[in-house]
Structure 1
Amino acid sequence: MIKTQVVVIGSGPGGYTAAFRAADLGKEVVLIERYENLGGVCLNVGCIPSKALLHTAQVINEAAEASHFGVTFGETTIDIDGVRANKEDIVSKLTGGIKALAKARKVQVITGYGKFISANQIAIDDSDEVIEFEHCIIAAGSRVTKIPAFPFDDPRVMDSTDALELDNVPERLLIVGGGIIGLEMATVYNALGSEITVVELADQLIASADKDVVTPLARRIKKQYKEIYLNTKVTKMEATDAGIKVNFEGKKAPETDTFDKVLVSIGRSPNGELIDADKAGVNVNEWGFIPTDKQMRTNINHIFAIGDIVCQPMLAHKAVHEAKVAAEVICGHKSGFDALTIPSVAYTDPEVAWTGKTERELKEQGIAYEKGVFPWAASGRSLSIGRNEG
């Protein structure tokens, strides 16, 4: 049995930040990670690889539009193996860096799937290892939401993790879900040469943002993509020799269409129900989230929770702030956090960002507000780079 002052479940941005902060403040820390590489979804199959690919997409697009500035390149050639290698090299450097930082802080890393067996003990699956702790920080993250009826056993039906592998560039790609993740992947694959179709159940893209904020992006990609279907749902998906046959239900969508690949990007689900939290007495709500107070404390006084497993928005930088709060409170410091202050950003082209309550939320809640609008067409910087939309 391993005894420690603080145990952290999960080594994503929230988990490793919590572990490092607690160690810096003098605590003995054990960090549990189910995968071989530290860094969680963000570093391995999320934020970092997607941003590497998005930068590649930006370079491709800027080269194509350079003639506007009096610069003409030859025909652009894309080496998919090189693009993939660059992404993987960046991920490797960062995950290796996290491992080195853990070693420098004497944070003990345990590889395995940790689950509670009591309010003060965690067992590691497929081993005899048990960790007894004084305080615990749950940073177990989230997983891709999948629709059971869709044929995910066919490699042509992808989730976001699969899409980031970049095995190949399909000629016809359907994106199911017009949220941030789906549209970022659409940005990448469009630049690499795919013909993109997006289907979204809501009446706008990035439904969590105000419509006028999303409009500049919607206008640009409407010209680039084959189709964008709003107020439309996928009712059936079937793997055939010709491709993935998809049935739609929506006024402007066809009854069926066939695609070389489909990316299903309809959100993520918290892992609250996968760590046997009930054996520690920790409350998990019907959606799988673990409720906390502003000090990130659960209903069990010595157990804290941070990141995707706590609440929306599921953002790495939110998890980092929550991690510092939890570690500092455990170490006797006064600290607190409100997720409302965290910005949301879609790294599309153009990018979309907002923070705080949206105008729609203010109206729904009856909160008085003032609104100011500045057109990028009046910005010298925007004009100088040839991007005056927004």
Structure 2
Amino acid sequence: MVVGDFAIELDTVVVGAGPGGYVAAIRASQMGQKVAIVEKEYIGGVCLNVGCIPSKALISAGHRYQEALDSSVFGVSTENVSLDFSKTQEWKDKQVVGKLTSGVEMLLKKNKVEILRGEAYFNDGNTLRVMTESSAQTYTFNNAIIATGSRPIEIKGFKFGGRVLDSTGALNLKDVPKKLVVVGGGYIGSELAGAFANLGTEVTILEGLDTILNGFEKDMVKIVEKNFKKKGVNIVTKAMAKEAVETDNGVTVKYEVNGKEESIDADYVMVTVGRRPNTDELGLEACGIEMTDRGLVKVDEQGRTTAGHIFAIGDIVPGAALAHKASYEAKIAAEAISGKKVAVDYRALPAVAFTDPEIAMVGLTEKQAKEQGLDVKAVKFTLAGNGRALSLNATEGFVRLVTTKDDNVLVGAQVAGISASDLIAELSLAVESGMNAEDIALTIHAHPSLGESVMDAAEAALGMPIHM
């Protein structure tokens, strides 16, 4: 190994080029800082390469396949429908992931961010090494933003490899499996279970809790469960996964329910029980950075660690492990380094599960609001009353607004149904801006559109519904 014999000076260094890191680097450069970004594997991080983006590509492919198999409700007959999964994977990798990651690299270069390939290790609070297989270079820095993300948790009895997959492995399968067991029914497990079910796989979900998609409202989850049942997905709750035993042609998954041991055979088992922060091989202890018991970095409202001039964002800090949260925190940290008086505010942080149908929420639920002492009401408008949903043959779901009783201020919202991931954006803006139901109701929405359901829900919250 060739080691650099002198230290190169940097103003701000960003470690990790995922949706937190690359956004931080670009914003820091825009604020006049001299910036370098260190990445050991993927420009764009897990999200763009082996997470959020490729999973949505497979979800979309599954929807197209199902529509091709049966669109008789529209009077469209289809025959001899086939799936070439190798072409699906090629489209996902080249036309979706490839374009996005090359685009991110172009944006970094356009914003004069120096890209350093290698693995970063902090020597102390102002020095780090960037190492490759053949060399190492030392850099000094005035400020740092750590955005190293997370990795899948491996559980006892389910060592990754062979027919035991993490989400990355499942996304890169060469063929659609005939049978798949998913251990963990959170949003990652449920999304990919739905994707493979749509592609023709017989799926079983093993969930340790009493419900899948924990954290979402029960009536939203019931709609997803109903659709899973239609697709033949078997959901086993309160199940403790014990062991995966590979066989000649597949894998046997052993699990326990109500004290009774059961087993199921499949082609593969995918484990999605959570993610672990990538903080253990960075040398953070040499910087005086304090950690939580879970290995997360302690930060203040600007993302500043106990080291003062070093910031941390994304999956390695407390809070939801969401790409858009990381990007938001990235801008706050970069601007804080430049002296702006900024601070994080998560009250309008949306959460989305790209299931069938999609479910999304922002702000407080009715229960959470009441627990905080707010006097609120919740009003729901079903998509069955929306013209555009009817024309799409997608009337499952609803828009629900949680508003204060005295002045109808929106404190939270939940959407279940087609395009919930898009509809939640307007409601996030409304929560962020402190709007009330009248503000939304008086906003003219295009007709016919799914967005009208938000306006209809607002009118219902005011006690003057038109389409209910």
The TM-score, its normalising length taken from structure 2, stands at 0.80
Q: Which of 245, 252, 269 is the aligned partner of 2:276?
A: 269
In structure 2, how many angstroms separate the alpha carbons of the residues matched to 1:84 and 1:156?
19
Output one character per residue of 1:199-247: Cα deviation in whole Å (capped at 9) or x when no partner.
Answer: 1111111002121121111111122124110111112221122421111
1:162 counterpart residue number = 169
Alpha-carbon spacing, 1:362–1:244, altered in 2? closer, same or farther (3 Å): farther
Q: Distance in 2 between matches of 1:363 and 1:202?
A: 25
> How many angstroms does 1:32 deviate by?
0.4
Match of 1:12 in 2: 18
Q: Secondary structure at the match of 1:339?
A: coil
Q: Report if the CA contact (8 A) 1:20-1:107 is conserved.
A: yes
CA RMSD of aligned residues (A): 1.7
Kindly indicate whether structure 1 or structure 2 has the higher relative contact order, using CA contacts under 8 Å at least 6 residues apart: 1
Change (3 A) 1:376 1:180: same
Does structure 2 retain, via aligned residues, the 8 Å contact 1:234–1:246?
yes
In structure 1, list runs of 5 or more residues that go unmatched: none
The Cα shift of 1:363 comes to 5.5
- In structure 1, the partner of 2:84 is 79
Alignment of 1:201 onto 2:208: yes
- Measure the CA separation in 2 of the matches of 1:189 and 1:339: 33
Q: Which residue of 1 aligns with 2:321?
A: 314
Cα shift readout 1:57-86 (whole Å, capped 9, x = no counterpart):
111122234111111122321111110000
CA distance in 1 between partners of 2:375 and 2:224 (Å): 28
**Aligned residue pair count:** 388
Structure 1 residue 119 corresponds to structure 2 residue 152:
no
Q: 1:373 to 1:80 in 2, by over 3 A?
A: same
What does residue range 230-379 of structure 1 map to in structure 2 within 5 Å? 230-251=237-258, 255-362=262-369, 367-379=374-386
Q: Do the aligned partners of residues 179 and 261 (structure 1) sit closer, same or farther apart at CA in structure 2, a change above 3 Å counting? A: same
TM superposition score normalised by structure 1: 0.95
Distance (whole Å) between structure 2 residues aligned to residue 362 and residue 34 of structure 1: 43
The residue type paired with residue 81 of structure 2 is: T
Between the aligned partners of 1:341 and 1:325, the Cα distance in structure 2 is 15
SS in 2 for 1:214: helix
Report which of the two has the higher share of strand: 2
- Equivalents in 1 of 2:170, 2:366: separation in Å? 33
2:50 aligned residue (40, 45, 50):
45
List gaps (5 residues or longer) in structure 2.
1-6, 398-468
Distance 2:45 2:35 in 1: 18
Does residue 110 (structure 1) correspond to residue 128 (structure 2)? The answer is: no
Find out whether 1:91 has 2:129 as its counterpart.
no
Distance 2:357 2:218 in 1: 15
**AA of the residue aligned to 2:216:** A
Structure 2 residue aligned with 1:61? 66
Q: Is 1:273–1:284's contact at 8 Å kept on the other side of the alignment?
A: no
Q: Call closer, same or farther: CA 1:374–1:293 in 2, change over 3 Å.
A: same
8 Å Cα contact 1:135/1:330 also seen in 2: yes
Task: Please point out which of 192, 196, 203 is paired with 2:199.
Answer: 192
Query: Percent of aligned pairs with the same residue?
Result: 41
Q: 1:366 to 1:250 in 2, by over 3 A?
A: farther
Relative to structure 1, the CA distance from residue 366 to residue 253 in structure 2 (aligned partners, 3 Å threshold; closer, same or farther) is farther
